[in-house]
């Protein structure tokens, strides 16, 4: 029997790329590949790329440059680029880096076996189409090996919002939702393999409208269907758009016990003028009223958000409006970034904010966000939470897991095991985690 070929995948970016990398590994598993954590021992290297951050393409080219020595030492090594940079750059990647053997976009990775065979035959393989067939259906089922207690599950891809700063509509395409029955089948399979918490993924996940037995089903409807699966104890979803936070989804947060009290709801800015320039189609006030409604339905919900500072033409007054909104919402988590241009997007052509000023604003915003995060985390001391344990901690007899609010919790209890859910009393708040003891 021949030795299995080894596959090394490096994943950049969001949770959807993590999910995509898992499915790419499965697609190539049928070609005799097993995953390795070492690029040096790989027979194929795949970079699953993200185009959201600044200079994303240049970082990919830099990474590829580091593989020149490996390619020279192992001429049969195949190197591929997948994901959003692959979609955006296409043939340019192969032109700039001749060592690349295949390029595949995020909607075509179910064709990896054919592309790999082409590359093995000495040809360059490129596929950045938006094929009509369902890539998830074309992929082989997930292998039946045991899984950790948490898993991602993509239910929706693409975006129709066309925010002025974002390349997702161009690299991932229009909004597409997977059929309900296929999602439920995959979810049941994950649970059979040990998963107890599933995070539903989508570029705009709460725009989900998948085909169900009685017509299209909303994300709330899908959550209630997942709620019926025995053994699935927790449900989360990310990332959401405020305009698609529907009444039935808010009601699900109020009444579905398996839906965790955590919501990532990006607003991006607190200035109505900037929100309009971003093409966000909501105002700061409509967002704040929405947060009020969500908290009325689920008072203990922990809010998370995204912010862009230094957006083209942002003034100090605009930035102050963002600080004001942050003070009102008080996020348990928030992710903030300095605006960076994405070629081909409307905002890239507008007058840019001075980088020094943008840096200063980012630091000021992050200071406020960090203060709120710390205060909310500290307020957990003395409370009881439910923790899903995922892995052993650094100390003997210690286990680490996540609370329903997504806080990392360390517990010293030798009897606990991965996959177990236990009530824990929080006894201390640390830099990036909580310490607890079993109740």
Helix (H) or strand (E) holding 61: helix 56-65
Q: Are 117 and 133 in contact (CB under 8 A)?
A: no
In 56-97, beta strands by DSSP E:
78-83
C-beta separation of 196 from 234 below 8 A = yes
Residue 313 DSSP one-character state: T
Which residues define the annotated binding site?
14, 50, 84, 159, 163, 166
Comparing CA positions, the residue from 60, 71, 55 lying closest to residue 11 is 60
Alpha helices by DSSP H, listed for 209-312, are 219-227, 247-255, 272-278, 284-297
Residues making up the binding site for [4Fe-4S] cluster: 14, 50, 84, 159, 163, 166
Cβ atoms of residues 233 and 197 within 8 Å: yes
Q: How many CB atoms lie within 10 A of CB 51?
A: 25
Q: Within 13 Å and on the Cβ side, how many CA atoms surround 34?
A: 4
Place of tokens 């901690």: 393
Between CA 236 and CA 258 the distance in angstroms is: 9
Angle 219-227/180-192 helices, nearest 10 degrees?
Answer: 40
Q: How far is CA 230 from the centre of its chain?
A: 26
């Amino acid at each position: 029997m021949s030795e299995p070929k080894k596959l090394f995948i490096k994943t950049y970016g969001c949770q959807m790329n993590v999910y995509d990398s898992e499915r790419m590994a499965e697609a190539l598993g049928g070609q005799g590949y097993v995953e390795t954590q070492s690029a040096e021992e790989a027979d194929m290297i795949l970079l699953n790329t993200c185009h959201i951050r600044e200079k994303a393409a240049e970082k990919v080219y830099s990474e590829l440059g580091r593989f020149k020595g490996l390619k020279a030492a192992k001429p049969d090594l195949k190197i591929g680029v997948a994901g959003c940079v692959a979609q955006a750059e296409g043939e340019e990647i192969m032109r700039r880096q001749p060592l690349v053997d295949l390029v595949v976009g995020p909607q075509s990775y179910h064709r990896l076996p054919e592309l790999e065979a082409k590359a093995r035959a000495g040809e360059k393989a490129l596929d950045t189409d938006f094929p009509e067939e369902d890539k998830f259906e074309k992929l082989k089922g997930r292998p039946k090996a045991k899984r950790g207690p948490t898993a991602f599950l993509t239910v929706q891809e693409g975006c129709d919002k066309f925010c002025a700063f974002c390349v997702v509509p161009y690299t991932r395409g229009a909004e597409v939702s997977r059929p309900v029955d296929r999602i439920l089948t995959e979810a049941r399979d994950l649970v059979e393999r040990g998963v107890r918490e599933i995070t539903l993924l989508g570029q705009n996940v709460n725009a989900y409208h998948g085909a169900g037995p009685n017509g299209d089903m909303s994300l709330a409807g899908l959550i209630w269907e997942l709620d019926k699966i025995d053994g699935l104890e927790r449900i989360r979803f990310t990332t959401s758009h405020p305009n698609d936070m529907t009444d039935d989804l808010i009601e699900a947060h109020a009444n579905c016990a398996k839906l965790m009290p955590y919501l990532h709801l990006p607003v991006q800015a607190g200035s109505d003028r900037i929100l309009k320039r971003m093409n966000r189609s909501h105002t700061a006030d409509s967002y704040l009223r929405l947060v009020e409604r969500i908290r009325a339905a689920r008072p203990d919900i922990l809010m998370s958000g995204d912010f862009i500072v230094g957006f083209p033409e942002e003034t100090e007054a605009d930035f102050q409006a963002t600080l004001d909104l942050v003070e009102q919402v008080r996020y348990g988590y928030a992710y903030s970034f300095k605006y960076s241009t994405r070629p081909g997007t409307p905002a890239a052509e507008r007058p840019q904010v001075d980088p020094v000023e943008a840096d200063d604003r980012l630091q000021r915003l992050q200071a406020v966000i960090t203060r709120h995060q710390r205060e909310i985390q500290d307020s957990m001391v003395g409370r009881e939470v439910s923790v899903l344990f995922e892995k052993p901690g650094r100390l003997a007899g210690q286990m680490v897991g996540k609370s329903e609010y997504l806080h990392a919790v360390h517990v010293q209890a030798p009897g606990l095991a991965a996959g177990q859910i236990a009530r824990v009393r929080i006894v201390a708040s640390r830099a990036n985690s909580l310490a607890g003891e079993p109740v």
